[in-house]
Amino acid sequence: MIHLSSTNIYGTQRELVDEEYSLLELQPQSPYAETKLKEERFLQTLGVSEDLRFIICRFGTICRASPGMRFHTAINKFIV
């Protein structure tokens, strides 16, 4: 399974984060980000209990990187 997640789950961080960041260190700051994090945790549970193979892609923007990227606004592009 390929799961599309979001960098929104990181919240506001002072340090550089990557995919190896512990789930305990994540700080989602919106219902959207909390839902994405719950989805990831659910997949990890299924990975153990049902032997589900999956990959999680945490995208930060809709199209590409930009100089003034604001990770928390990606969802706004979908609802405007």
Structure tokens at 32: 């959207």
Contacts of 43 (CB under 8 A, 6+ apart): 1, 3, 52, 54, 56
Q: Alpha helices of 1-80 — where are they, by DSSP H?
A: 31-49, 74-79
Q: Walk along the chain (80 residues) in steps of 10 and give the mean pLDDT of each run.
A: 88 75 81 92 94 88 58 60
**Do 28 and 13 meet the contact criterion of CB atoms below 8 Å apart?**
no
pLDDT of amino acid 49? 94
Q: What is the pTM of this model?
A: 0.68
pLDDT of amino acid 3? 93
Considering just the CA atoms, what is the radius of gyration of the chain in Å?
13
